[in-house]
């Protein structure tokens, strides 16, 4: 399926849109799914009724948000949706007054770090970090 990222809607999931199946297919345990679903900033990416991706994030302190992971349906990978979701997470963190986004998975998912490094996340104590540019 070829994606047009402008058709993607990203928002808090309704109860029937929690991406449990997507997470389980990526290797998440029941406990991992619950941790993901309980993240304060859980978002899904959809086209129409189809959930194509998700991210989970929490706030660590006043300045730091922790991105727990980004997962995209296998059939739509390598088309920019993971980057789109990561950019959305960074935007949410910035809009809430954050100055840093750390990538620290809370699940045992098979998450790849290459995309985060390519987007400018760098090794920092405690994970990969992305420092937001102050105004």
pLDDT in tens, 47-84: 999 999 999 999 999 999 999 989 999 999 999 999 99
The candidate with the shortest Cα–Cα distance to 53, out of 101, 87, 94, 92, is 87
Per-residue confidence (pLDDT) for residue 19, from 0 to 100: 86
Per-residue confidence (pLDDT) for residue 104, from 0 to 100: 84
Can you tell me the distance from the alpha carbon of 107 to that of 31, in angstroms, rounded to the nearest whole number? 8
Burial 31-69 (b: 16+ CB within 10 A, else e): ebbebbeebebbbbbbeeeebbbbbbbbeeeeebbbbbb
Instruction: Note the pLDDT tens digit of each residue in 1-50.
Output: 788 888 999 999 988 888 888 888 888 888 888 888 899 999 999 999 99
Per-residue confidence (pLDDT) for residue 73, from 0 to 100: 92
Per-residue confidence (pLDDT) for residue 107, from 0 to 100: 61
Per-residue confidence (pLDDT) for residue 58, from 0 to 100: 95
| Domain range list for the chain | 5-131
- pTM comes to 0.90
**19 exposed, middle or buried (CB, 10 Å; 0-12, 13-18, 19+)?**
buried
Question: What is the CATH number that goes with domain 5-131?
Answer: 3.40.630.30
Whether residue 90 has pLDDT greater than 70: yes
Can you tell me the distance from the alpha carbon of 4 to that of 82, in angstroms, rounded to the nearest whole number? 13
7, 16 Cβ separation under 8 angstroms: no
């Amino acid at each position: 399926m070829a994606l047009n990222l402008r058709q993607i809607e990203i928002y808090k999931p309704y109860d029937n849109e929690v991406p449990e199946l997507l997470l389980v297919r990526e290797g998440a345990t029941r406990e991992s799914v619950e941790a993901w679903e309980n993240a304060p900033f859980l978002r899904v990416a959809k086209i129409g009724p189809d959930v194509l991706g998700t991210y989970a994030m929490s706030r660590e302190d006043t300045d730091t948000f922790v991105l727990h992971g980004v997962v995209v349906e296998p059939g739509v990978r390598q088309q920019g949706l993971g980057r789109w979701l990561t950019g959305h997470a960074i935007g949410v963190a910035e809009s809430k007054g954050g100055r840093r986004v750390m990538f620290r998975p809370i699940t045992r998912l098979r998450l790849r770090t290459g995309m985060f490094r390519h987007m400018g996340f760098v090794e920092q104590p405690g994970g990969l970090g992305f420092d937001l540019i102050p105004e």
